[in-house]
Amino acid sequence: MSGAVITRVRLGAAHDGVAEMVLTLTYENGGETAVALDEYAAEHLMSACAAKDADELLGQGWARVRDALEASSNRFAAAGKIK
């Protein structure tokens, strides 16, 4: 999975009515998967990549996506909502 990169970025509708960022990750073997990021994770990813717009995320490695998802998840643990 080390070679997976972001190849597409689009907006999607989340179940709560808030837009989410939907990324397509493409693996070295040509396989693809879609990953949805909530607002917090998307903001973290944009900041970590120093991206001013979504197009600047193209080519970024999957580890940045993983870190953004982890940051989003950790905010609940930090607030004491997950034990």
pLDDT tens digits for 15-34? 778 889 999 999 999 999 99
C-alpha–C-alpha distance, residues 58 and 69, integer Å: 17
Residue 70 corresponds to which tokens in the numbers above?
């982890």
Strand partners, 5: 26, 61
**Is pLDDT of 80 > 90?**
no
Residue 67 has a pLDDT of 96
pLDDT tens digits for 23-76? 999 999 999 999 999 999 999 999 999 999 999 999 999 999 999 999 999 887
C-alpha–C-alpha distance, residues 63 and 49, integer Å: 11
